[in-house]
Structure 1
Amino acid sequence: MKKVFLSFLILVSGAFICQSCNLISSAGFNSKGLPTPDSANTSIAAEEKVDHSGWDQLLKKHVDSDGMVDYRGFQKDRPALDKYLKMLSSMQPDDTWNRDQLLAYYINLYNAYTVDLILRNYPTKSIKDISGAWTKEFVKIGDKEISLGAIENSLLRKMDEPRIHFAINCASISCPKLINEAYTSKNIEKQLEKATIEFINSDKNDISASQLKLSSIFDWYKNDFTENGSLIEYINQYSEVKINSNAQVDYKNYDWNLNEAK
């Protein structure tokens, strides 16, 4: 009987640990029918479907070059943020939007509503202290309500673009940094490439030719990075250090403390 109970405890503990490690990746899978064209849909997109200049101004004002966020400053500019969120929510993406327009919209939507979530629960030490941070459907898109988890998992991750993992920011120290400019369909390719190169070569990863200690992002979303080859092959596209194909791979603990500027 004791062995059975012990086995049960181990099973429950393992499930809890697994759930905790995959908190973001398992949260919210309902796309609410919103469009997600794949990478083949790259029709020329000279026009911007959405004016992201309001968000751009807020980011330049309240986010430093290291991606640390002045949440108190954002609070003082709450009317400007609310105006941008209201404008985003009034949009209803459809099949006439191409890949670049949707990427810019969904990335900015995710990042802006994450800042909004922090402000509505401020002060907080970590986004993980906020109940339902990735599962509550509080993000409005037209007549729909969707969760942050759904934006990530059911929209962005369906677009065959693994670089989105370096563009969306979960308000934590170990996250890829929140850049201090808005993403736009005109510049999205250049912005995603820059975000990926900066993250992979930052102190969020320890890279040498024979050994890697990577951000847990590469563990949680490994399948996204290995559709066309190995994880090392993917990282080698962007790494300043050439990595051996047989290099040892380990993962860092994730720091969920708030990415707040001091």
Structure 2
Amino acid sequence: MKAPRAVIFVSLFLLTFQSKAQTKFDHSIWDQILLLNVTKDGKVNYGGFMKDSSQLYEYFTLLSQNPPTEQWSKEEKLAYWINAYNAYTIKLVIDSYPISSIKDIKDPWNKKFFKINGEWYSLNDLEHKILRKMNDPRIHFAINCASFSCPVVWNRAYTGANVESALENQTKKFINDPLRNTITEDVVSVSKIFSWYKKDFKIDGKNVVDFINKYATTKIINQSKKGYKTYDWSLNE
């Protein structure tokens, strides 16, 4: 016996609705916690995150139980994994707080200390096995290693809707930040991020300097002048 057309229509509607609902992730909890505990210039109140730990752990539960699927757009996946990296970096720090540097923690980036969809991950897993393989070098200015010389933490959550403009803004902000990159006619001293991940910036036949110049207010003219700043690993609080 065939099902009535109305029943078939409702079933198809529900399946379509569920499919669409599963292609987006609600980062509003993370957005609220960031607004409360990160200043506009990226200083992090780790004590505040500890006080808001119930909300933070609610967000971890959402991350763990709702990983990206093939149906998600690239923008939604980028937002999910960037937020996950930053949120779990906060967790790593507050689990050992007070500390003066993330390097006070034993092997912080290889430590498998959180689960997503039942699988244990480290921060290096998220960065090297997932985010870098998405072939967008701007992620290096969105993820934060809890250190002063890192790109500043944006005090909003990345979403599928804002991630493109946010990555552009974060990249431009970092490259033109005189505390993290010095680019003048006489002195060129840039972040070691451009050395550690140089191959990520070599896209479409261009090099690291080409990438920097795309966003820099003052362009690098003489590449032979280029050097690297000492990386400050002190906690970004």
Whether 1:143 aligns to 2:113 is: no
Whether 1:239 aligns to 2:187 is: no
Q: CA deviation at 1:110?
A: 0.3
Q: Quick check: 110-119 or 208-217, which moved more? A: 208-217
Whether 1:81 aligns to 2:59 is: no
Check 1:46–1:93 CA distance in 2 against 1; reply closer, same or farther (3 A cut).
closer
Structure 1 spans left out of the alignment, 5+ residues: 1-44
Give the structure-2-normalised TM-score.
0.87
Check 1:129–1:117 CA distance in 2 against 1; reply closer, same or farther (3 A cut).
same
Whether 1:67 aligns to 2:42 is: yes
Q: Secondary structure at the match of 1:213?
A: strand
Q: Distance in 1 between matches of 2:21 and 2:207?
A: 34
- What count of residue pairs does the alignment treat as equivalent? 216
Q: Is the 8 A contact 1:233 1:245 kept in 2?
A: no
Q: Distance in 2 between matches of 1:119 and 1:246?
A: 41
Where does residue 224 of structure 1 map in the other structure?
A: 200
Q: Secondary structure at the match of 1:195?
A: helix
Q: Kindly indicate whether structure 1 or structure 2 has the higher relative contact order, using CA contacts under 8 Å at least 6 residues apart.
A: 1
Where does residue 236 of structure 2 map in the other structure?
A: 259
Q: CA deviation at 1:209?
A: 3.5
Where does residue 51 of structure 1 map in the other structure?
A: 26
Q: CA deviation at 1:247?
A: 4.7
Q: Is the 8 A contact 1:127 1:171 kept in 2?
A: yes
Instruction: Report the AA paired with residue 231 of structure 2.
Output: Y
Where does residue 79 of structure 2 map in the other structure?
A: 104
Q: CA RMSD in A?
A: 1.6
Q: CA deviation at 1:144?
A: 1.1
Give the structure-1-normalised TM-score.
0.79
Q: Which has the higher helix share?
A: 2
Q: Is the 8 A contact 2:112 2:121 kept in 1?
A: yes
Where does residue 99 of structure 2 map in the other structure?
A: 124
Structure 2 spans left out of the alignment, 5+ residues: 1-19
Q: CA deviation at 1:171?
A: 0.4
Q: Distance in 1 between matches of 2:221 and 2:58?
A: 49
Whether 1:155 aligns to 2:130 is: yes
Instruction: Report the AA paired with residue 240 of structure 1.
Output: T
